[in-house]
Structure 1
Amino acid sequence: MNDKLLKKFVAIERKLSTEKGAFKLFALVQLEELPGLWDVVMSCENLPEKDMPTLRFVIDKIHAVLNKKEIVQISRIILLDVDQPFVKEMEQFLARANNPTELFNCEIDSMKIKQAYIIVSPVIKDDASVLISRHWSPNFSLAVVSRPN
């Protein structure tokens, strides 16, 4: 994935989070069995999984930003409930790995990941009362601190 496309997804995440609320997870994931194709994985309280109008809303937002050449690089758009095992395992994996913005050759929830870009990754601090979401940036990571509901 090139930097230009990655920056477009950062903008998409910011637009969606402004409209729908903070993400628990927003990642671009390339699985080993689908080289060159990316899954867009999102988890947000206000984007329920298995809801076609919500999925259509997200697809429309993505199509409004990407061109056709970029769209064909997307394999799936996946909306996950914040309590899904993949979301929880990803959070645990990222916490153990010091919350990186990019992953290579790992397995999370039985999914073999070739590469992943973590645009939004929440990490619960030890006191469990502060949620820190790190937003990906090409030059640095920006920590946004907020109190969970």
Structure 2
Amino acid sequence: MTAKNIISALFLFLLSLLVSPVYADAKSTAPWGHAKTLDIKYPPHKVIYDLTTGNLEELDFTLSRISYLNNLYDADPFESSIIVVIHEKALEHFAIENLSDNKQLMERARNLTIGSTIEFRMCKVSAKFKGYEPEDIHGFVQMVPMADA
């Protein structure tokens, strides 16, 4: 083996020692690599959101997702439909008596229904179990006989 080959082999060996801890660390913290972003154009669909949360932050997040999805669909009135079915703990947010607690969120929810294919529907059975009648609920909400049907 010539001196040049020995120096080259030594250089490659030292280089591998420098790189291997970085590679090993990357493998241990992300053994499957990292997520890739796909550029997908979503065609309009008919979507149902099952809104059950009693948490105002979760409701806020859900309203943001509904709005974003509507924008992805270009608010297409012919091909898209977004129905939000309200029941369980979410009922109380839409009760008129609680408007002072969440007025901004209710204004956002109502605004989503104006000139769009977004509808809020409330399970009449669930509302009745909670002691609510149609006159107790905001006017942008439609009462349906039963959300499970």
- TM-score category, normalised to shorter length: under 0.3
More strand by share: 1
TM-score by length of 1: 0.27
TM-score by length of 2: 0.27
More helix by share: 2
Structure with bigger RCO (C-alpha 8 Å, 6+ apart) = 1
